[in-house]
Chains A and B, each alone.
Chain A
Amino acid sequence: MKSLLAATLMLAISTPAFANDPAQLSDTEIAHVAYVADTIDIRYAHLALAISTTPEIHEFAKTMIRDHEAVNAAALELLAKLGAEAQDNFLSQKLASDSEEIINRLSQLRGAEFDRAYAENELGYHQAVNNLVETAFIPNIDHPEVKALFEQGLEIFKAHEGHAEMMVKAVQ
């Protein structure tokens, strides 16, 4: 299953014709994208817990929920400390709308077909998000504490990418 979201994210950072440039987002808009991206993966994980019966998929999904919730909590705490609010933007909205399509597709699958689709989507999604965070967001974040949080988040998501790669091989 190709990741529609991965395609959206790759397009966002690589195509000059893309009208809105992720690198031009403000810190609070970037924070909103990150929050939405975390929340999307948490939703995918809950879907996996509901549909899959494979232990490796369940353990991975629980880790996604645990880790993405930790990052979101830290982001909200930082924003509160800074007296700021995350700002909705074109990329947050696109990610959210595209994720609905993926959830619809995944929710119609069962058994090994679901496991493969979920694992492949997770790998593609994390690859794309990591690329976006590393190349478009972190270099352009102004506030040092926001940058530091994204650097910590990137480390976590790279571990997820590696874990997803293991999972793809395990469910083939």
Chain B
Amino acid sequence: MDRRTFVRGALGGALIPLSPGPIAAQGELREVSIRNFVYEPETLAVKPGDQIRFTNHDLAPHTATADDGSWDTGTLEKGQSVELTVTEEWTGDYFCAHHPAMTAKLIIG
């Protein structure tokens, strides 16, 4: 089963901010904008504890979903944002579950 079918399970597209886990949310706030079917920036360096705000500026709904399912924004409608806190369990490659050609990368250090 490839990554694109793996991750669309129980979350059902809901907005689910992940719990901070063992790392308290003391890091920096980073921004990822989804615009014209592109994640901006396409590569972002983050560390556990950082918060990432994903904002969808497109008319089409999008997600940001880890390839291995370790994190997921759920479906973001136009204008919606969600903030997720990076944990040590996160992996960096992600994509849009609705538009699988949209991909980007977090460099987690």
Give residues in A with beta carbon < 8 Å to B.
55-56, 59, 62-63, 66-67, 70-71, 74, 152-153, 155-156, 159, 162-163, 166
Contact = CB atoms under 8 A, between A and B. Distances in A.
Contacts of B4: 56, 59
B5 A153 contact: no
7 contacts: A56-B4, A59-B97, A66-B61, A66-B75, A70-B60, A159-B60, A163-B101
B78 to A, nearest CB: 7
Interface string B86-104: 0000000000011111100
A163 B97 CA distance: 12
Interface in B1-35: 4-5, 8
Contacts, number: 47
B99 to A, nearest CB: 5
Main secondary structure of the interface of B (DSSP, over half): loop
Nearest to A67: B60
Contacts of A70: 59-61, 77-78
B97 to A, nearest CB: 8
Given A70-B78, A166-B101, A156 B60 contact: yes
A162 B97 CA distance: 15
A13 to B, nearest CB: 24
B59 A163 contact: no
